[in-house]
A and B are shown apart, each in its own frame.
Chain A
């Protein structure tokens, strides 16, 4: 057999369209170029923290966290077509699950101080279970009604978070997040490896990176699976999907649960990055941020979610940098024409509108255009 495979490879090498088995046709990274860029991207991410200052490194960690959460929302909204404004609620549940299980009991809040190996998976599972319980309700409505229903969820959630003082510390007070101690290995200590100093920000970045890579690959794989395809079927036409034997209830429940799992993980990590969590964090505007991630990045693409996360997290930094050259007040009040936050909101709003009208496929769609232009080279079609 070895000679067959080696020879078979010999005559298929350099012929990316010559599929001799279904596995290669279905491969996640089906072209050499994709494999190469993924590899380059990964190495760049590994080296990056050593070249940037610690602010930028924590910002990088935030990008990764937003990407994880964005992927979760994209599975639900982009792939399964279920609009959800409740993403922040599930992030919150994930964050508090982690905090209760992995945090310290101090200042009247519950904290069990368990290891990260326990609290991290549970931070995903608990929101997933909550979502699975709520999903049968959400599965009964669609479109605008679903948006309203999930909107209600955010407000109910925010209220519960404010009142459940033993868990959340209550409104305006908040609590400390979970301790990132993985199998007794404190991720918040400073380390030295081969003479290179690795500070806690870099450690956190790498932790997020590993989790992100695993979750992104899982999502990418999931979308090619039977369930992933049933998501798309439900999105494109729920009645047609049901006629084909795709159970709407099961599919939507699964979509909500998986989405909430991603949200929970993102929430737990997010709480560590921001350091102290108050119930107000998990509000409607955080949900909108995530919607922006997937709308600007591109619906129904994993790569798009990542692009969107980079964009949404980095935009405020860009605006800040611009303030030096524009008649804008860098502070909150007085001075120039606008303040930074107002400008940010304006840019955000304008961009979402522009993307929805001009390129509904988002940043990923823009990339596709560029790629197809050169893919068709030297023709136009």
Chain B
């Protein structure tokens, strides 16, 4: 980085990146948010101004260096203003998932010792107020949306506008305060606590420093680790995944700050598909669940199309298969012949299809945060969207490996970034990484830190991997998720689960078989697609549960499992399945905030289903390889 003007030291901070950009093109658009039906521009100058107001406001509230401030909101400009404003006073940002229920909010606020909470609306304020007595350090709750909150009379509540006004008054009184603080910024300053989703046990707050963020930004953003070629100010991003997750922080806040790509905030999580069509981003990052949903959306809508359109789709997707094959044989790059075929298909299908999905202008796409089925990646390759599957985790600032352009290998997470050491531990095959992005440890959990980060600086990821062709890393599974059957076979459940989830009808699949004679699976259906499927076949149903238990649906699931079984060895065959008759939910503790299945919790909740399979009772809805069990429920 070039030296920064006068009073500041050379410590790299995200805020300085933003300030530099504002100095060069202050009137340029930094981000857009949809308000009242219009995408409102926010310029770099406005961004910097808001950040400084937040910083001053926090000072006005009496916050000090190293204090924690939590943000509990959907993605919106204020998230970024808050995040960088907190860093401007060398405070620590704690991100909360909008879906976090009140007990988790209590845990996170108490564990981090948060002094100020920035809560989006009534929903989040209510959660905080409900658990206020469990959070002794909480002094202020700043709310963004006054609706339903403004009338509450509570000493800790403070509206965003008042908060900003305090900042403005403070800035007039002490115009130099933030500059002096910035001057003292150190590379080791903790900038954020990113709470791991906690599939086992309570979440742990991973501490990331200025130096971590600097390294991560330089490698995965400007180094092209995420998107190749690297992002530039002409790029367009849609921000819709939770910003408290390290991946979305990387693709929104960091990418925006260091590359100048324009961020667009989705209106809400429910409008993402519409927003995607409007924004037509050039860079698109999604987690496997989103890619699966996009694929299912295309397939379901295609199923309802007229025959001419179906035939057109069928023809060009067949051609697409050929294009994808020749591209993959060529490391993910077009060959002359595939380009010619693509050009024709572009006219008849790919252009319209991509535009309708919202990927019309995507020049680089990425998938991470969970394992994805190669089948899903392949589907997008067929329409010319190259998805870079990459690997990283909170604890290493999302920096580890990625599929480099021209060297893509489907089913792997690619090669280590430059300057990143990745090795497999002897014996266990656990993936270890070492680089300047490795985190500073878990907040207030030295033992857990010691378990993860060893004395030589190696980060123990908890994932088991293997090398493919000596260059590309393939993730087998989480160590603790590996199933060892009663016969002593090691089996990776996520591979089987992803293969099942590649079907548009399956939303959740949980493979069971640890210390058991054979493998079984719990299946949760995707209500939208199966519902559509059932309607097309005139199968009546009332509720999610009713739909799950229909004989036709059981046969459908059985067929999907049989297809997966065909492709696997006998020991990996799924002998039986049972239906999960409720939609899994974060609120109920079945899923983590990132929609990952909490295995331990589920095996407890669905104990009866599992027992039913292994005891041979066959009394609950489900089936085996040859037959299905239909349970008739009497009138209730």
Q: Which residues of A contact B (CB under 8 A)?
A: 1, 3-4, 7-8, 10-11, 14-15, 17-22, 25, 377-381
Contacts and interface: CB of A to CB of B under 8 A. Distances in A.
Contact of A20 (B27, B39, B280, B306): B39
Contacts of A11: 29, 234, 236, 262
B27 A21 contact: no
Contacts of B27: 1, 3-4
Nearest to A379: B301
A10 B353 CA distance: 24
Nearest to A12: B39
Contacts of B40: 20
Given A3-B25, A7-B28, A11-B234, A20 B41 contact: yes
Contacts of A19: 37-39, 278
Contacts of B277: 17
B193 interface: no
A282 to B, nearest CB: 47
B313 A18 contact: no
A18 B264 CA distance: 10
Contacts of B25: 3, 7
B306 A380 contact: yes
A305 B301 CA distance: 35
Contacts of A379: 301-302, 304-305, 309, 356
B32 A20 contact: yes
Interface in B268-282: 277-280
B568 interface: no
A18 B279 contact: yes
Given A15-B278, A15-B280, A17-B277, 14 more contacts: A3-B27, A7-B233, A10-B234, A14-B361, A19-B37, A19-B39, A20-B32, A20-B39, A22-B37, A377-B352, A378-B302, A379-B302, A379-B304, A379-B309
B9 interface: no
Given A19-B38, A22-B38, A378-B312, A3 B28 contact: yes
Contacts of B29: 4, 7-8, 11
Nearest to A21: B38
B45 to A, nearest CB: 9
B43 to A, nearest CB: 6
A4 B43 contact: yes
A54 B312 CA distance: 47
A355 B120 CA distance: 53
Interface string B346-370: 0001001100100001000000000
Contacts of B313: 378
Nearest to A2: B27
Interface string B301-337: 1101110010011000000000000000000000000
A25 B39 CA distance: 11
B304 A380 contact: yes
Contacts of B361: 14-15
8 contacts: A3-B25, A7-B29, A7-B233, A21-B38, A378-B305, A378-B352, A379-B301, A380-B304
A182 to B, nearest CB: 44
The listed residue with most B CB atoms (<10 A of its CB), out of A1, A17, A25, A381, is: A17
Interface residues of B, number: 32
B309 A377 contact: yes
B522 to A, nearest CB: 33
Given A11-B234, A20-B32, A380 B305 contact: yes
A14 B40 CA distance: 18
B41 to A, nearest CB: 6
Interface string B236-274: 100000000000000000000000001000000000000
Nearest to B235: A11
Contacts of A25: 37-38
Given A8-B29, A20-B40, A378-B302, A15 B352 contact: no
Given A7-B29, A378-B353, A17 B278 contact: yes
B535 to A, nearest CB: 14
A11 B236 CA distance: 7
Given A378-B353, A379-B302, A381-B304, A20 B38 contact: yes
B382 to A, nearest CB: 13
Nearest to B306: A380
Nearest to A374: B352
A18 B39 contact: yes
Contacts of A381: 301, 304
A3 B280 CA distance: 22
A380 B298 CA distance: 11
Contact of A18 (B28, B43, B278): B278
A185 B39 CA distance: 51
B376 to A, nearest CB: 19
A25 B28 CA distance: 22
A380 B309 contact: yes
A378 B306 CA distance: 10
A230 B353 CA distance: 39
Nearest to B233: A7
Contacts of A7: 25, 28-29, 233
In the complex, the 6 A-B pairs of residues with the closest C-beta atoms, listed nearest first: A4-B27, A17-B278, A380-B305, A379-B301, A7-B28, A377-B352
B407 to A, nearest CB: 30
Contacts of A377: 309, 352
A4 B353 CA distance: 32
B278 A378 contact: no
Contacts of A4: 27-29, 41, 43
Contacts of A17: 277-278, 280
A14 to B, nearest CB: 7
Nearest to A17: B278
A3 B43 CA distance: 11
The listed residue with most B CB atoms (<10 A of its CB), out of A1, A3, A381, is: A3
B294 to A, nearest CB: 13
Contacts of B312: 378
Contacts of A14: 280, 361
Contacts of B279: 15, 18
A15 B37 CA distance: 15
Interface in B3-51: 25, 27-29, 32, 37-41, 43
Nearest to A5: B27
The listed residue with most A CB atoms (<10 A of its CB), out of B38, B40, B43, B233, is: B38
B349 to A, nearest CB: 5
Nearest to A20: B39
A374 to B, nearest CB: 8
A41 B610 CA distance: 70
B159 to A, nearest CB: 27
